[in-house]
Amino acid sequence: MITPVLLCGGSGTRLWPLSRKSFPKQFAALLGPESLFQASARRLAGAPFGPPVVVTADAFRFVVREQLAALGAEPRSLLVEPEGRDTAPAVLAATLLMAGHDPGALLLVAPSDHVIPDASAFRAAVALGVAEAEAGRIVTFGIRPDRPETGYGYLELAEPPGDGPVPLRAFKEKPDAATAAAFLLDGRHLWNAGLFLFRADALLAEARRQAPALLDAVERALAGARRDLGFCRLDPAPWAEAPAISLDYAVMEGARALSVVPYAGRWSDLGDWAAVWRETQGDGLATAGDAVAIDCEGTLLRAESPRQRVVGIGLTDIVAVAMPDAVLVAHKDRAQDVKAAVARLKAEGAPQAESFPRDHRPWGWFESLAAGDRFQVKRIVVHPGAALSLQSHHHRAEHWVVVQGTAKVTIGEEARLVTENQSVYIPLGERHRLENPGKLPMVLIEVQTGAYLGEDDIVRYEDVYARS
C-alpha cells in the first residue's frame, strides 16, 4: 500500500485575485466543479493507495476537512503546521508519522495544486517506480517538456529516458530561455514536478545524513503534537527551530540513490493565468462564469461572481479575471508579474491583497454584500448540523433574516426556531448563538449596525470548534 502525502499549506499569489493568502488556489474550483485539492485526493484514492496524510496550515484545516468530506474521503491523519516552513519540514513530519507505524511504509508526496488530467496514466507511472522505492531508492517523476519553459526546475537524466526509471544525474535550477530551448532538444531534461515516492526509512536516513538539525526539530514537533478535534497540531516551539527550506534543497539534491520515472501525460502546476489559459482554452479562447468574448483571440475571461458579467471585445492575449472586490487585466505574457502586483497592494494596505471576499469558517461561510458608515450587510451560510460560537459584541447590534432553511437562534437565555422570511434582533452586548438544526444549508442575511464592525469584535463564551 502507498500512503499519499498531500501538501496543501501554501498561499500562492500568482493566480490573484482568485487565489489569495486566506483562500489559496488549491481550494478553488479552477478547472471544474472540484477544487485542485479535491482532484488530487480523488486521483490518489483507491488501490494501491491508502488514506492520505494531509499537511496544511491552521487557517485551512476546516476547509480541508470540508472538501474531503464532500468526496466521502477520510484522511489517515491531518497534520497542522503552526507556521509555514516550506516543503522539507512538512514532508518529514508526515514521513516520521508513518515511520512510527511502519519504517518501510511507502509514501508518495504530491502537491495538491497540480493538474494531472489522466489519472490512470499517472497511476501507471507510479507503479513503474514501486520496485525502485521498495529497494530503498528515492523516486521522482519528471514531466517530458513540450516547450522551452523557464518557470520550472529541471531534472537531468544520466541516460536517455525510456518507459521505466532512469538514474538522476542532477537537479537544474530554472533556466534562461536559451538553456530551456537546449534542454528541450537534448531529450535528457525533464520538468521537476515535485513528486516523490520513497520508503519512509530511506528518506529519513538521507535527512539524518544531510540535515540532522532539521530532522531533530521536526521529530520534537511531532513528539509534542496534540490532538484537537481530529487534527494533529505540531508543537510550535520546536517547529519554529526548523529552517524554512524545500525538500529539494534539504534532501533530494544530495541524495545518493535517486531515480526518475518519465511521465509523458499532461501536467501543469497552474503557476499563473497563462497556464490556466493553456489548460482551458479552445480555439484560443478560455472563458468561465458569465463571460462573453467578441472577436478575441488568445484570451482568458473569467467572471467569478454570479452578479457580474465580463465582456471582452477585440482582445488579443489578454487575461481578465473579475472578482466582487477586485479585477485583474493583464497581457498574458506578463502573467508572472501578478505576484509583484499583489506585493504592491499589500504594501499599500489593501485588504484585497490577501483577504478573500468569501470568508470560510468551520461552520460554513459568509460574504459582505454591502457596507457603509456604521452598517454592513452579509450573507451567511451555515452547514447542516453546524453552529456558530456563543458570543457577544461590544460595538454592534445585528438583525438576522432567514431566507433559506431554519435557524435555531439563542439570545440570552431564550432559544427558538426562526424559519424563512422571519427575522430576529440581537441587541449590542447580548449573548447569542446561531445554529442550523436542519439537513440542508441554512442561509440568512445579517445587517450589522454600530460604531465598529470588524471581525475581531467577538467575545466567545462557548465554541464547538475550540477557537480561542
Each residue's pLDDT, cut to its tens digit, for the chain (468 residues) gives: 999 999 998 877 899 999 999 899 999 999 989 999 999 999 999 999 999 999 999 989 989 999 999 999 999 999 999 999 999 999 999 999 999 999 999 999 999 999 999 999 999 999 999 999 999 999 999 999 999 998 899 999 988 887 789 999 999 999 999 999 999 998 899 999 999 999 999 999 999 999 999 999 999 999 999 998 889 999 999 999 999 999 999 999 999 999 999 998 999 999 899 999 999 998 899 999 999 999 999 999 999 988 899 999 999 999 999 999 999 999 999 998 999 999 999 999 999 999 998 888 889 999 999 999 999 999 999 999 999 999 999 999 999 999 999 999 999 999 999 999 999 999 999 999 999 999 999 999 999 999 999 888 999 999 888 776
What is the Rg, in whole angstroms, of the alpha carbon atoms belonging to the chain?
24
Output the pLDDT for position 468.
61
DSSP string over 143-194? EPPSS--SSS-EEEESS---SS-EEEEEEEPPP-HHHHHHHHHHS-EEEEEE
Q: What is the pLDDT of residue 162?
A: 79
Phi first, then psi: give them for residue 300, nearest 5 degrees: -115, 125
3-state secondary structure of 59: helix
- Residue 443, beta-bridge partner list: 381, 404
Please give the model's pTM, rounded to 2 decimal places. 0.90
Backbone angles phi and psi of 427, in degrees to 5:
-65, 155
Give the pLDDT confidence score for residue 95 in this predicted structure: 98
- Contact assessment for residue 221 and residue 93, using Cβ atoms and an 8 Å cutoff: yes
Cis peptide before 48 (omega within 30 of 0): yes
The per-residue b/e assignment along 287-300, b for 16 or more CB within 10 angstroms, e otherwise, is: bbebbebeebebbb
* Dihedral, CA of residue 265, residue 268, residue 273 and residue 276, to nearest 10: 40
Residues in the chain: 468
What is the structure's pLDDT at 214? 97
Of 126, 109, 115, 138, the residue nearest 164 (C-alpha)? 126
Strands in 290-422 per DSSP E: 291-294, 299-303, 310-313, 318-322, 327-331, 358-361, 364-372, 375-382, 390-392, 396-404, 407-411, 414-418
Cα–Cα distance for residue pair 236/232, rounded to 1 Å: 12
Query: For residue 357, which of 430, 396, 307, 313 has the smallest C-alpha distance?
Result: 307
CA dist 42 → 68, 70, 108 (Å): 9, 11, 14
d(CA 6, CA 56): 9
Q: Are residues 463 and 390 in contact, defined by beta-carbon separation less than 8 angstroms?
A: yes
**Grid cell in block for residue 235:** 508543537
Residue 340 dihedral angles phi and psi, to the nearest 5°: -65, -35
Which domains, ranges and CATH numbers included, belong to the chain? 2-263 (3.90.550.10), 273-347 (no CATH), 362-462 (2.60.120.10)
In whole angstroms, give the CA distance from residue 252 to residue 246. Answer: 9
C-alpha cell, 57: 496550515
pLDDT at 179: 94
Per-residue pLDDT at 102: 96
Report in angstroms the alpha-carbon separations of 105 from 136, 202, 205.
11, 10, 14
Cell numbers for 460: 466567545
pLDDT of 10: 82
> Residue 40 and residue 267: Cα distance in Å, rounded?
12
What stretches of 3-135 show up as alpha helix (H) in DSSP? Answer: 36-43, 61-71, 87-99, 119-134
Cα-based torsion angle of the residue sequence 188, 194, 195, 198 in order, rounded to the nearest 10 degrees:
90
pLDDT at 283: 87
The CA distance from 202 to 334, in Å, is 42
